[in-house]
Amino acid sequence: MPDLSAEHFRQVMAHVPTSVAVVAGVVDGRPKGLSVGTFVPVSLDPPLVGFFVATTSKSWPPIDTSGSFCVSVLGHDQAEISSRFAVSEADKFDGVEWHPAPSGNPVLVGAVAFVDCDIERVVETGDHLLVLGRVREMGVETGHTPLLHHRSSYRGVAEGGDRAAGSE
């Protein structure tokens, strides 16, 4: 029988690099946010993106009730910001620079790109929620290389040697 314990699952999946992003919204006039991994494009038509958040998250429910969010894809030099938004704190935005997306939701200064969304659907998937967002606006901010999470550490993408998808 294979070992499918939570710890073994975590150990093996740590070898799969994931994106690092901050999901943020405005709740009662104040910015709120959380760090997420595995932010992904889902559909071109309609334009949808998705991410996963633990069902135990205390940061997601207020954003969920707002009906919209903005994702800031973090740059290779923003690991500290990711760590700050990964824990429950009173004010994660204290000292963090941001500007409003077209929806008014926060875009973090220094982010690689932003994706401003309305909540399309939230689906319970085991101990996580799959959040699907319908893109209303998006753009490249700095265009720097993104921050990744791999083998339980933050990492940047090595520059150079880029190859087009599907090329040999």
Residues 10-37, mean pLDDT to the nearest whole number = 84
Residues constituting the chain = 168
Task: Write down the CATH superfamily of domain 6-156.
Answer: Electron Transport, Fmn-binding Protein; Chain A (2.30.110.10)
Nearest C-alpha neighbor of 101 from the set 109, 91, 90, 93: 109
For tokens 């405005």, the residue is: 26
Peptide bond into 46 cis (omega under 30): yes
- Going from N- to C-terminal start, the domains of the chain cover 6-156
Which pLDDT tens digit goes with each residue over 68-115?
999 999 998 998 999 999 988 778 999 999 999 999 999 999 999 999
pLDDT of residue 163: 43
Q: Is 120 left (phi over 0), alpha (psi -120 to 50) or beta?
A: alpha
Residues 24-53, mean pLDDT to the nearest whole number = 94
